Structure 1
Amino acid sequence: MPADARHPVGGRDPRDGRDPHLLGEEVETFIAERGWEVDVAAGSVIGRWSAIVGPQIAQHCAPVSFELGVLVVRAESTAWATQLRLLASSLLARLAAEAGEGVVTELRIVGPSARSWTHGPRVVSDGRGPRDTYG
């Protein structure tokens, strides 16, 4: 079989690296090479939160963080936090359908909180705390 019969473009493979590739394929390859599949899927969950859970639920809660498969969602009231805890299994199923199986492995629901005086991930346990700021 002659070379030009196998490849319609003058005997060479049109996808040999010199011709342009589809942007979507290149982005998928880029993400896969760096191992970012889970991070990108989690970002899409946070970005499309309202579409995934519905506008009524999204109006009363929002995703706060995602780390190691755990999605933390903050509810606007303790009543909504309780309601979301009851819906957790169906929300996890919906998240698995939208983002892929195993991306979100745990859904942690937290209620509203008082102001935090800490300014980072580490806390010094000895000291007077917020009273120090009022002099």
Structure 2
Amino acid sequence: MFRGIKAFCLGAALAAAAPGLAQPVQPAAVPDASAADALANPDVVTVRNISRIELSPGVPIVDGSGNPLGTVKQVVGNTIVITDGGVDYRVPITQLYAYRTGAADHFASRLPKSALTAEQEGG
């Protein structure tokens, strides 16, 4: 008797899951010609997240307005130490992004300099 109940429950569970399993795969979106034209506009800026391997010492970092924050001093795990020559700031990599103008990538902080906390001496 219990086998019959187990079999019925298993069959019911599979039947309920079957419509979800049979969903068609949607094709990836293909940009049309108007999207390509829009991206070719020189006023369009492409923004992307970055990885820690893109940031080596000396890479300049700006704020969202393009004002210099400093340069990368070192990468410590998922934190970037930025120096402005006199003060060091620790910024999580999740707060940094890259944008492209012309043929070059530029690196920026989502946080303005006023929101950064200066690192203590020996910190």
TM-score interval (norm. to shorter): under 0.3
TM-score calculated relative to the size of structure 1: 0.24
TM-score calculated relative to the size of structure 2: 0.26
Q: Report which of the two has the higher share of helix.
A: 1
Q: Report which of the two has the higher share of strand.
A: 2
